Structure 1
Amino acid sequence: MASSAAKTGVELATFGAGCFWGTEKFFRKQFGNNLLSAMVGYMGGASKTTYEDVCTGTTNHAEVLQVSYDPSKVVYADLVRFFFRMHDPTTLNRQGNDRGTQYRSVIFTHTNEQQKTAEQVRDEVQASGKVKGQIVTQIQPADGLQFFKAEQYHQKYLEENPGGYCNHRLYY
């Protein structure tokens, strides 16, 4: 994995933390204009997909948030720390009432440095005692995997539908 920051000054980070509506809402609230973009979509499966297909649990895709950021303004480790704080990383294929592999806790890393950082932060959070139970978050390279943007009605869903369903909260 190569670093994209050396070429453009912009890096990608991709997180699956249950339903992507809440993941997007929480990251936008926490990091605001420091994110260059935030887009929900699907990652982990082999081919382009739809929300309906992902909901069957047969595509291997996770609902994810992909953000682009300037590493001189946002530190990747801070994104990862917040990821562990805004969902329950100890539940396998589940967040609240949402169940299925599409709701798994996963970090898709885009560089070797991100991989190391994500693993270090996971270990720090586990050792801190802030989470109750064993962290089951998958941390895997994004190499060979494609991000597929979700349908437009999913983008900024909770901003457009403030009373919409959200399973997320800050855990510590």
Structure 2
Amino acid sequence: MILAQEEYNPVLPHTSEIIIGLIAFLLLLFVMTKFVKPRFEKVYEERAAKIEGGIEKAEKAQAEAEQALAQYKAQLAEARSEAAKIRDDARAEAEQIKEELRAQAEEEARRIVAQGEAQLQAQRAQLIAELREDLGRNAVLLAGRIVGESLEDEARRRGTVDRFLDELEASSSVNGAAGARK
């Protein structure tokens, strides 16, 4: 028993177990390096590539977004300046139209005033002619009664009427000048 106890050490395994364990470890090491390690490396590289690709895509998308934002801001500034130009042009055009309409209205007012004055002059001339005719007729009739002869002859009557009216105008202009002196 003493010999049997010396040979069996619970801390140290049997040599056959050590050999079998070593063979199993080497076999496991071979399988790991031949099959598992390449797969792990392949999966790791794919994952790293995806992550790097994602980062590159994100950076690229961010750069595109920044470029689009800058382009949008430029277009917005251009649209604002164009809108301001359109407003200014519209104001200038409105002022021009306003001035044109004002000029047309003033011209129309002058034309209407001139037409009214011409119409007044025509009516005045017509009224003076009618008054001369009535005054002449009454003067001839009155003169005929005073003189006692008929002034039927048209030429004589006109001459008499014209002489009477000329004398009347001359006397009224002399009276008007004397009244202005007083």
> Structures share a fold, TM > 0.5?
no
Please state which structure has a larger fraction of its residues in helix: 2
Higher relative contact order (CA 8 A, sep 6+): 1
Please state which structure has a larger fraction of its residues in strand: 1
TM-score range, shorter chain: under 0.3
Larger radius of gyration, structure 1 or 2? 2
